[in-house]
């Protein structure tokens, strides 16, 4: 009984090479996606750290005594106590503040603007950049 050869009996070498190339392109795309996800995660960490430092400073202002001398005169670019802050895995951040006493002619109301800046460029999806956050709070003083 003679055997007949079927034209559809298997893959040719060219079909196999095309399939491997398509798989390789897909895997390279996934690798790039993973790199982007890691950068985005790092960027999110740096944003969270800067926001947390600004929030901590705002809470410290709220906890200060109303007759604290920093609320009695205008201050620009003063360094916050403990600055620079080194956060493991997130970098070094400088915290400064400005005080505007008698804000908009309201006696005893001080505006405090807190500036948080990374000391070096931190990871960003679009490239390394300096992270900066500003927070504004008000304090009633006497």
**CB 95, CB 78: distance < 8 Å:** no
Q: Residue 94 to residues 71, 72, 98, 106: CA-CA distances in angstroms?
A: 21, 24, 14, 30
Q: What is the pLDDT along the chain (142 residues), one digit of tens a residue?
A: 666 666 666 678 888 899 999 999 999 989 889 888 887 887 788 888 889 999 999 999 889 888 888 888 888 888 988 888 888 877 889 999 999 988 888 888 899 999 999 888 776 666 677 888 999 999 887 6
pTM score of the predicted model: 0.70
Q: What's residue 1's pLDDT?
A: 61
């Amino acid at each position: 009984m003679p055997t007949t050869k079927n034209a559809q009996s298997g893959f040719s070498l060219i079909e196999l090479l095309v399939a491997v190339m398509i798989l390789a392109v897909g895997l390279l795309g996934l690798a790039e996606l993973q790199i982007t996800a890691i950068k985005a995660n790092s960027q999110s960490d740096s944003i969270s750290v800067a926001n947390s430092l600004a929030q901590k400073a705002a809470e410290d202002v709220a906890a200060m005594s109303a007759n604290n001398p920093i609320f009695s005169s205008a201050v620009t670019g003063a360094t916050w106590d403990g600055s620079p802050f080194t956060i493991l895995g997130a970098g070094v951040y400088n915290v400064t503040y400005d005080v505007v006493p008698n804000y908009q002619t309201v006696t005893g109301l001080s505006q405090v603007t807190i500036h948080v800046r990374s000391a070096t460029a931190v990871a960003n999806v679009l490239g390394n950049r300096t992270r900066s956050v500003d927070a504004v709070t008000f304090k009633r003083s006497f």
